[in-house]
C-alpha cells in the first residue's frame, strides 16, 4: 500500500515545571503530558517523484519547507536515502482540526505522523523508540506525540516515562482564534523573570527524580480525576496570563464553570477544563460560550486517550 491516512492527536500538559537551564541552552523541564481526542488527519500518498509536496486546509499553516511536517519528511529522506531513492517522495495533506499556535502540539503531532507514515510507505520497519529519536531532532514534543497516552517528560521534554493509561477524562478546550503565543518568547521571558530561582546544573538530576513521586504522578497512577484536577500546574502561566488578559479571563471563567479545575496548556494560549462526564463537558462548553459571547472564541469537547499516532480505521 502506497497511501496512508493517520490520526494525529493533540496533547495537553497536566503539569509543567521549569527546573533550570540546560547546558544546551534549553530548559530542564518536568511535565506530565496527556493525549486528547482532538486530532488532525494526515494523508500521505506516494507521488512517484523526488519532491515532497504539502497542502493544508488551514490558511495560517505554511505549506512550504518551514512546516514541521515537511521538515520531518526531509529528515527521513536524509536518514534513509536508499529508501527515498527506491520509493520516492510523498504528497502530504494536512486536515487541520487542532487550533494553530495553541500550545497543543499541533505542529509536532503532524510531524510525528509524517515520520510514522513514511516508515510504513518506505517499509523501513523502525521501532517506536527509533522513530522517537528521529522526532527529538525536530522538536521536544514530537517524541511524545509518536506514542501519546500519558507520560512523564523530562529533559527538554524528549525523555519519556510512560504512565498507566487513564480511564477517559472529558476535557473542554478553549482558544481565541486570533491569539497565539510564541513558545520561544514564553520560555525566554520566564528565564528573564524567574531565572534566579533555577536549580543549578549539578542539582538537576535530583529534581528530575523527585517529580516521579510528585502529587500529580500519584494522582495519575491512581486514576483519580479529582486529584489530577487539584494538582494541575503550569509555570508558564506566570508569564502568559499577565501578558494576555483575555486568556487570564478565559482561564478564570473555565475554573469557575468546572467543578474539577482548569489550566492553560503548554505555552498557551489554549485553556482547558476537566469535566466529570461528557454531559458535564457539554454544559461547560455551552455556559462558557454564553459567558464570553465572542465569535473569536472557539471551544471543543474532547477526552483523554491512550494513544498517539494511529492509522485511520
pLDDT tens, residue by residue, 147-206: 999 999 988 777 899 999 899 999 999 999 999 998 889 989 999 998 888 766 555 565
> For residue 165, what is the DSSP state?
P
Q: Which residue has cell 486529584?
A: 227
Q: Each residue of 213-260: pLDDT tens digit?
A: 488 999 999 999 999 999 999 999 999 999 999 999 999 999 999 989
Cell of 27: 530548559
Within 37-151, residue ranges assigned H as helices are 68-79, 81-87, 106-121, 128-136, 142-147
Q: What CATH number is given to the structural domain containing 9?
A: 3.30.230.10
Q: Which domain does 232 fall in, by range?
A: 1-313
Based on the residue annotation, tell me whether 141 is a catalytic residue of this protein: yes
Q: What is the pTM of this model?
A: 0.93
11 is catalytic: yes
User: How many Å apart are CA 74 and CA 253, to the nearest integer?
Assistant: 43
Cα 275 vs. chain centroid, distance in angstroms?
Answer: 20
Task: Place 207 in a pLDDT band, splitting at 50, 70 and 90.
Answer: low
Alpha carbon distance 44, 191 (integer Å): 39
Quick count: other Cβ atoms within 10 Å of Cβ 293? 8
Rg (CA), the chain: 19
Distance CA 313, CA 290 (A): 36
Q: Of residues 40, 43, 141, 235, which has the active-site annotation?
A: 141
Number of structural domains found in the chain: 1
Amino acid at each position: 500500500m502506497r497511501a496512508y491516512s493517520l490520526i494525529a492527536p493533540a496533547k495537553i500538559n497536566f503539569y509543567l515545571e521549569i527546573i533550570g537551564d540546560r547546558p544546551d541552552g534549553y530548559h530542564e523541564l518536568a511535565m506530565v503530558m496527556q493525549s486528547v481526542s482532538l486530532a488532525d488527519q494526515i494523508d500521505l500518498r506516494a507521488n512517484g517523484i523526488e519532491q515532497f509536496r504539502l497542502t493544508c486546509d488551514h490558511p495560517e499553516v505554511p505549506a512550504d519547507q518551514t512546516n514541521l511536517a515537511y521538515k520531518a519528511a526531509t529528515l527521513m529522506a536524509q536518514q534513509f536515502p536508499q529508501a527515498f531513492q527506491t520509493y520516492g517522495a510523498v504528497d502530504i495533506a494536512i486536515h487541520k482540526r487542532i487550533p494553530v499556535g495553541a500550545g497543543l502540539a499541533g505542529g509536532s503531532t503532524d510531524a510525528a505522523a509524517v515520520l510514522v507514515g513514511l516508515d510504513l510507505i518506505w517499509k523501513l520497519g523502525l521501532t517506536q523508540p527509533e522513530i522517537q529519536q528521529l522526532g527529538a531532532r525536530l522538536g521536544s514534543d514530537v517524541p511524545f506525540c509518536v506514542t501519546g497516552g500519558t507520560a512523564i517528560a523530562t529533559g527538554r521534554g524528549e525523555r519519556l516515562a510512560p504512565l498507566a493509561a487513564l480511564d477517559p477524562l472529558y476535557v473542554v478546550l478553549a482558544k481565541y482564534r486570533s491569539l497565539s503565543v510564541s513558545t520561544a518568547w514564553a520560555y525566554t521571558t520566564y528565564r528573564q523573570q524567574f531565572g534566579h530561582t533555577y536549580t543549578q546544573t549539578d542539582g538537576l538530576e535530583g529534581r528530575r527524580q523527585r517529580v516521579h513521586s510528585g502529587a500529580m504522578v500519584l494522582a495519575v497512577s491512581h486514576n483519580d480525576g479529582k486529584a489530577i484536577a487539584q494538582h494541575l500546574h503550569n509555570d508558564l502561566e506566570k508569564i502568559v496570563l499577565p501578558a494576555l488578559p483575555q486568556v487570564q479571563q478565559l482561564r478564570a471563567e473555565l475554573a469557575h464553570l468546572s467543578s474539577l479545575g482548569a489550566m492553560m496548556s503548554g505555552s498557551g494560549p489554549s485553556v482547558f477544563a476537566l469535566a466529570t462526564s461528557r454531559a458535564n463537558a457539554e454544559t461547560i462548553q455551552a455556559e462558557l460560550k454564553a459567558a464570553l459571547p465572542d465569535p473569536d472564541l472557539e471551544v471543543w469537547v474532547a477526552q483523554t486517550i491512550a494513544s498517539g499516532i494511529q492509522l485511520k480505521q
